[in-house]
Amino acid sequence: MAGKTNDDALFQFLLRMGDNSLILGHRVSEWCGLSPVLEEDIALANTALDLIGQTQFWLGLAGEVEGKGRTADDLAFLRDAWDFRNVLMVELPNGDFGQTMMRQFLYDAWSQVMVGRLIKSGDKRIADIAEKASKEVAYHVERSADTVVGLGDGSEESHARMQAAIDYLWPYVGEMFDGDEVDAAMVAAGIAPDPASLREEYDALVNKVLSEATLKVPTDVFHHKGGRTGYMHTEHLGHLLTSMQWLQRAYPGATW
Amino acid sequence: MYAQLVKTAGTGVKTREEMSDEERNFQDRVDRDEKIEPKDWMPDDYRATLIRQIGQHAHSEIVGQLPEGNWITRAPTLERKAILLAKVQDEAGHGLYLYGAAETLGVTRDELTEELLSGRMKYSSIFNYPTLNWADIGAVGWLVDGAAIMNQVPLQRTSYGPYSRAMIRICKEESFHQRQGYDIMMKMAAGNDAQRRMAQDALNRFWYPSLMMFGPSDKDSVHSAQSLAWKIKIDTNDELRQRFVDQTVPQAKYLGLTIPDEHLKWNEDRGAHDFSEPDWTEFFNVIKGKGPCNVERMEARVKAWEDGAWVRDGLMAHARKKTAARTAAE
Ligand SMILES: [Fe+2]
Ligand SMILES: [Fe+2]
Ligand SMILES: [Fe+2]
């Protein structure tokens, strides 16, 4: 039986999972109707839909664990920026289509490794969510990897844009593998893996895809942080929340 | 309807005596409700009219993503966001089926896209109206998809096989679109004062533009008569509009909302509602590019197309490299 402290850590862990998919799903949904080809409009909407579905599970469970009666919607629409626990990478603006797809791949690759571990979580509720998400995630990573390869090893311009995308995003990758006392508590309880332990598998996948894409993986190990701890988000998150939360904030208590 | 004011090619319905053997044979097949397939002989004007009509319909699905997309990032709950995303994703899929149907007539998707972006081809006037509050998303599903269904259900029986089959697939999804819209309206109408005000405001702004979706009265038009004879149009614009009004009035009443038409009343003799015509001057203005959002909608499509050029080129270049590598390996 998990004690109070563990439940706090579990709540934080679930926010991290849910906020990643919520914020990335939101960013991807901004492409609606504006992508380079019709097939991409459909595929991006599909990705956003899956991410929002995963959000409902993660944040739903977070609310349950917290035990204050907050729903997934309450958590999504009524928290301010400092209470969000997503990594910085997912809140960055979309940039061009190449940057969006590069970010998607860098996230999908992490998500695939993570979900693969969570399927074996000691907490059945988490294992179940991971199980449900795993098929979607496998499809996402296959698709985003394909696009990264197609554009990286495409025309001169597409190659240059994809190299610029990885150079820009690379300093945000490291945060996904940072660990703290929340992660230590999850490891101790057999609920979730140590983030650092995902890195080897992740690097193998990313290196393989990026080399197929004829792109250079940056070697700088420096990385930004502050998202998953909530200590310091980017300036972009506040603007994202401003539109996302507007109706709920303007008309408190309404049913939609 | 999504294809409005489609100019029918040709000079009007020919008598049997005026028809060539091929034309007579073709008309007989249409009259027997046989489907015309891509490889079959067909009059040039039939082909040209269908390309216009299906193309306009496809463009409408694509441009139609924009007014609803305007609210995806502001949807008030996770579930509403997911439903709206799924709906808009369907519309993109409809565009895909329809471009596919048009391609069987010998025109490519890229050619049709160029026609849209240059302004030579139109899309439904309805998508040139703004979505200003959340109830607009309800009103679009309820009224706009409702009007689209009204038009598309009969088109499942249209004479051109690929078009008919596209319509059958599309109609399956459209009823979900209308239901989700009406469901939003129910929530809004049963909500607080502000929400009821949003709902009424949305109905006020979308009522007449929805009636315009069926196009102007076509009872005197020779062109329309030809399209009816070819069964690429099944009902007249006025028949469809009447059916739409008769279906919608009780739904509005159930919501407790007022349709913005003081002349609207049940006509016992006709067994139908009398109602006011929309402002056709406004309609023709919108068609000519002077609607509230024409400029924004076209700008958004042109920007998406131009910004995406490097992506399409890059993926093509990659495909060519792959093919070359495969050929070299053989
Ligand atoms: Fe549609
Ligand atoms: Fe539609
Ligand atoms: Fe629809």
pLDDT for the residue numbered B131: 98
Residues 6 or more apart whose CB falls under 8 angstroms from that of B94 comprise B58, B61, B166, B170, B173
Q: Looking at beta carbons, which residues of chain A come within 8 Å of B82? A: 49, 52-53, 56
Domains of chain A, start order: 4-219+229-250 (1.20.1260.10)
Q: Chain A contact for B192, CB < 8 A?
A: yes
**DSSP, res B177:** H
The closest ligand to the CA of B178 turns out to be 3
pLDDT less than 70: residues of chain B: 1, 5, 220-222
Q: Are the beta carbons of B314 and A247 separated by less than 8 Å?
A: no
Chain A: closest CA distance from residue B136 (Å): 13
Q: How far apart are CA B143 and CA B146, in angstroms?
A: 5
In the predicted model, residues of chain A with pLDDT beneath 70 are 1-5
Give the sign of the dihedral formed by CA B39, CA B45, CA B48, CA B53.
negative
- In the predicted model, what is the mean pLDDT of chain A? 96
Q: What whole-number distance in Å separates Cα of residue B28 and Cα of residue B33?
A: 9
What is the spatial distance between Cα B284 and Cα B254, in angstroms, rounded to a whole number? 33
Residue B76 CA to residue B95 CA, distance in Å, equals: 27
Residue A72, pLDDT score: 98
Contacts for B43 with CB less than 8 Å, ≥ 6 apart = B10, B22, B23, B26
Res A5: pLDDT: 61
Would you call B314 and A244 a contact, using CB atoms and an 8 Å cutoff? no
Specify the pLDDT at position B222: 62
Query: What single string gives the DSSP state of each residue in B113-124?
Result: HHHHHTTSS---
Note the pLDDT of residue A1: 44
ipTM value for the complex: 0.96
Per-residue pLDDT of B261-317, as tens digits, reads 999 999 999 999 999 999 999 999 999 999 999 999 999 999 999 999 999 999 999
